[in-house]
Structure 1
């Protein structure tokens, strides 16, 4: 479990430059064929970070100013909303 002072790895799934991508620390990864593929890739990587002791989240940008948390390593639920 990550400590409260540890930074959170936020894997933000976003439609950017005409394709679905993952933004992590202001770097873009992808493109992915569709939103579901990007969410799956983000969740896989976030789980790996969590197993290494980092708090991680998968967040979906539904538009330019609306974000929805799909998964948080501190929750017990699986990724939703793909």
Structure 2
């Protein structure tokens, strides 16, 4: 199992950030507006595996400390 489970890269300009990662990594992000006031574009991944997304939300701002990394734990999960 990977130590990293999910990551979020905040973006002020969502469309520009998505275009940058799609061009740089030669991939297609999966866009979803599943929550009010939030845009999310997920990097392709196979579950179980490490996933992540470019995200634009009122409570997140791009900065030197802005990327969120979620670590895998067994807490609350079946063995």
TM-score, structure 2 as length reference: 0.33
Greater relative CO (CA pairs within 8 A, separation 6+): 2
Q: Which has the higher strand share?
A: 1
Q: Which has the higher helix share?
A: 1
Structure number, greater radius of gyration: 2
